[in-house]
Amino acid sequence: MEDISEAIESLAHAIQHGLSRLGTGDAFTSMGALEAHGAAILTAAGDIADAIRELSASIDAMKP
């Protein structure tokens, strides 16, 4: 029974270590994969909003 508990503990440590490496670019960060993904989505949303504003301004400038 002790072998099983050691195996489970070892597996838990391996999973914890693997999850801690799920940052950006396989970096060892405190930011996990979901947090990194969320940050990337916020950045992309800002870029898209900026592009829409720029397009809108260009369209407005073309109006007579």
Q: How far apart are CA 60 and CA 16, in angstroms?
A: 53
Q: How far apart are CA 31 and CA 7, in angstroms?
A: 27
- Phi, then psi, of 2 in degrees rounded to 5: -65, -35
Q: How far apart are CA 35 and CA 14, in angstroms?
A: 20
Q: How far apart are CA 64 and CA 45, in angstroms?
A: 31
The reported pLDDT for the residue numbered 32 is 67
The reported pLDDT for the residue numbered 45 is 92
The reported pLDDT for the residue numbered 48 is 92
Domain tally, the chain: 1
Looking at the whole model, is its pTM more than 0.85?
A: no
Ordered per-residue pLDDT tens for the chain, 64 residues: 577 778 778 888 887 777 766 655 555 556 666 777 788 899 999 999 989 988 888 988 998 8
- Domain with 51 in it: 2-62
